[in-house]
């Protein structure tokens, strides 16, 4: 692993793990030997990071030079914590981990008083009916949208009839019970909404539709706004 990546992972571990963090726990988290970890701690300190502690005691990150100072009002802190908590309940483990990492990075840049407000926020998010686990191809569709790559798949409609589709994925939407992909369907030559639970054999194609994702997504969202809220039940389905 490149040294810069190692140091970045070490900073992330110091931000997110309960402090003080032992050297053994940090070495395990960053997948290095204790000897390498001690060198990396020294490198971060030399770069300006204020890391308290020592071997046998544990380490605490008190100031992180990699992030600029942040200031939020108490209500803004509540909104951030509540929004990120909702992401952790999305059913997508990758997004859940990203939300936890993002919250740790944000809190690490706050003054002590605001850190306490974030850690002990008044507002919480909870669902009595957790969302279903995200389908394994959600990550592939998300990456395909960012990279503007076409995707081939088999899609089952509400009657169970299967068709082969090539789509240009534009984005994903988390609904109350389903996750849908907003896409341009090459078969229908029009915008469509595909439920991820009804997709099979999802694979990246060689075709690129760069740089059309953003204008296509804007056009699709404009159409949805014009059609109104009832359009989801009878128009634009796959």
- Banded model confidence at residue 209, pLDDT cuts 50, 70, 90: very high
Distances (CA, A) of 1 to 7, 22, 141, 168, 181: 10, 22, 27, 34, 35
- Given a cut of 60, whether residue 232 has pLDDT beyond it is no
User: Which pTM does this prediction carry?
Assistant: 0.66
Burial profile 205-219: b = 16 or more Cβ within 10 angstroms, e = fewer: beeebeeebeebbee
Same fold, 3-63 and 138-234: no
CA distance 194 to 191: 10
Maximum average pLDDT range among 57-66, 71-80, 124-133, 214-223: 214-223
State residue 46 phi and psi, 5-degree precision: -65, -30
Q: Each residue of 58-117: pLDDT tens digit?
A: 898 876 555 555 567 888 889 999 999 989 888 889 999 999 988 888 887 787 888 888
- In CATH, 3-63 is 3.40.50.10190: no
Q: Which CATH code for domain 138-234?
A: 2.30.30
CA distance 15 to 220: 39
Domain boundaries, the chain: 3-63, 74-119, 138-234
Longest dimension (CA), the chain: 64
**pLDDT confidence of residue 65:** 57
Indicate the range of 37-41, 108-112, 121-125, 222-226 predicted with least confidence: 108-112
């Amino acid at each position: 692993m490149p040294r810069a990546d190692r140091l970045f992972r070490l900073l992330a571990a110091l931000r997110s793990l309960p402090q003080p963090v032992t050297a053994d726990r940090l070495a395990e988290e960053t997948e290095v030997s204790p000897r390498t970890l001690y060198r990396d701690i020294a490198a971060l300190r030399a770069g300006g990071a204020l890391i308290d502690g020592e071997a046998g005691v544990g380490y605490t990150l008190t100031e992180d030079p990699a992030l600029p100072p942040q200031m939020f009002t108490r209500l803004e802190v509540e909104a951030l914590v509540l929004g990120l908590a909702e992401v952790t309940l999305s059913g997508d483990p990758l997004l859940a981990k990203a939300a936890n990492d993002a919250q740790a990075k944000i809190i690490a840049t706050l003054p002590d008083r605001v850190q306490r407000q974030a850690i002990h926020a008044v507002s919480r998010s909870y669902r009595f009916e957790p969302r279903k686990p995200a389908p394994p191809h959600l990550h592939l569709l998300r990456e395909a949208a960012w990279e503007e790559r076409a995707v081939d798949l088999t899609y089952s409609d509400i009657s169970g009839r299967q068709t082969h589709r090539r789509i240009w994925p534009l984005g994903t939407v988390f609904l109350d019970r389903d996750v849908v992909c907003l896409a341009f369907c090459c078969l229908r030559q029009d915008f469509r909404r595909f439920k991820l639970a009804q997709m099979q054999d999802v694979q990246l194609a060689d075709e690129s539709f760069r740089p059309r994702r953003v204008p296509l997504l804007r056009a699709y969202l404009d159409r949805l706004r014009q059609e109104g809220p009832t359009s989801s039940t009878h128009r634009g389905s796959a």
